[in-house]
Amino acid sequence: MKTNLPYRILALAMAFTPPVYADEITDDIALDYNSYLSDLFIHFHENPELSFQEHATATRMAEELRAAGFTVTEGIGQTGVVAILENGPGPLVAMRADMDGLPVQENSGLPYASTALQLNPATGQQDFVMHACGHDVHITSLVGTARQLAKRRDRWSGTAMLIVQPAEEIGSGARAMREDGIWERFGKPDYVLGFHVSAGNPTWTLNLLENSSPYAGADMVDIIVHGIGGHGAYPHYTKDPVVLGAQIVLALQTLVSRELAPHEPGVVTVGAFHAGTKHNIISDEAILQLTVRNTNPETREKLLNGIRRIAENMGRVAGLPEDMLPEMVVLEQTVPPLVNNSALAGRINGVWRERIGADTLIQKLPDGMGAEDYPFFTTDPDIPSIYWEVGGTPQEAFDAMANGGPAIGGHHSPLFKIEPEPSVQMGVDSTVRAMLELMPGR
């Protein structure tokens, strides 16, 4: 569920080069990529599956993680997979990777571009499917991490939990795994980790923010505007919900601009406005569909209360009776904001600086309010957690774009195309370093 960001800011980025390999772990990950993970990545890229339909992907992931030496349980939260490696006393550290593709027809021009079709329960038809968000990088990296951890049992002590999550793109998979009792059945982690590959960041970079929210909390809200319908030529006998709906849309614009403090981020977007059937009929109902974004519970309350207040009172302005005022419905799909644990983020950035290289670390703030369902693993109860970005686009592509070359295909675009080798290698390297740090050896 990553946003499709504009990339012009990134044209300013410095020229990044592959890290000077600090020790044998990085070298070994590169070897494993060339001899094993590369083919696995291509397999996943060629065989994407839609949210909660990731049956073959889950089966393959279970096989891979079992082969690496983990104890694997399938079918957690529908198609989710949990792999455990107990390796002596110590903390339980979870690493999460999401595995679903998107209903997008790939047009990347890659030799291994997906041509896959799958029955899409949302449309009832066979749709093209593509790993257009890079979740193939996440699961391939998770296998690489499993192989490194299993091989280096003398270097750490504790329990590693690898989580293969379904249905991130519909914001449902993490919650499904929690509701299926993942913590109760396999233990509540002491730390939770996760990353997203980013088309907006240069390859060989890691972006772990220490003091801000990389992803927003999101709510879907409906406003049902009741009216009194009639003939378009006799408006004085009606209460027109299209006019009232339009007034509500405009009034909502003051919530972020006039009610939130200037440094407080928030979004209120009316993405859909449905009403009416014909030129000359005044409808008796309009429905507005909103996405509402925040980075903390206080802002969420302010925005949701404000939307209700504006909607109801605009109904009064229009002269509607009290029992016909606009109704606001907050739908179930709430995603909490993703907040990194600052101390943990600083600690892991320190490890990466030393072990992978200072020139790989960036601190790039988000320029939008995209959302992720990862926080379902890190809240209620709160668990110290971090979530970072692994750069996926070669610096040359940013340079070319800055000089009038082709635009970089963003996440969810048919043109989405990340560079798998640095993405997977840095995905594994960053994860393995973090897990070794959090489960220090005997």
Give yes or no for a contact between 378 and 193, defined as CB atoms under 8 angstroms apart: no
Nearer to Zn ion, 52 or 156 (CB): 52
Minimum CB distance to Zn ion, residue 336 (Å): 17
Minimum CB distance to Zn ion, residue 437 (Å): 25
d(CA 233, CA 435) in angstroms, rounded, equals 69
2: contact with Zn ion by CB under 5 A: yes
From the list 55-63, 132-140, 386-394, 398-406, the region that binds Zn ion by CB under 5 A is: 132-140
From the list 126-134, 267-275, 374-382, 398-406, the region that binds Zn ion by CB under 5 A is: 126-134
Minimum CB distance to Zn ion, residue 98 (Å): 6
Minimum CB distance to Zn ion, residue 240 (Å): 38
Minimum CB distance to Zn ion, residue 46 (Å): 18
d(CA 99, CA 173) in angstroms, rounded, equals 10
From the list 6-14, 15-23, 52-60, 127-135, the region that binds Zn ion by CB under 5 A is: 127-135
From the list 79-87, 125-133, 152-160, 328-336, the region that binds Zn ion by CB under 5 A is: 125-133
Count the neighbouring beta carbons within 10 Å of the beta carbon of residue 311.
23
344: contact with Zn ion by CB under 5 A: no
Number of residues that bind Zn ion (CB under 5 A): 3
Bridge partners, 281 (sequence order):
231
Angle separating helix axes 135-151 and 420-438, nearest 10 degrees:
50
What lies within 8 Å, CB to CB, of 186 at 6+ separation is: 73, 82, 84, 161
1: contact with Zn ion by CB under 5 A: yes
Among 13, 76, 93, 133, binds Zn ion (CB under 5 A): 133
Minimum CB distance to Zn ion, residue 97 (Å): 10
Nearer to Zn ion, 326 or 420 (CB): 420
Give yes or no for a contact between 227 and 235, defined as CB atoms under 8 angstroms apart: no
Instruction: Please provide the DSSP assignment of 173-232 as one string.
Output: HHHHHHHTTHHHHH---SEEEEEEEEEEEETT-EE--SSS-SBBEEEEEEEEEE-B-EET
Pick the closest to residue 191 from 17, 416, 5, 386 (CA basis): 386
> Measuring CA to CA, how many Å separate 234 from each of 225, 227, 239, 246?
20, 14, 11, 20
Nearer to Zn ion, 16 or 416 (CB): 416
Minimum CB distance to Zn ion, residue 94 (Å): 18
Which stretches within 217-369 are classed as H helix? 241-254, 297-317, 342-355
Nearer to Zn ion, 1 or 424 (CB): 1
Q: Residue numbers of the site for Zn ion (CB under 5 A)? A: 1-2, 133
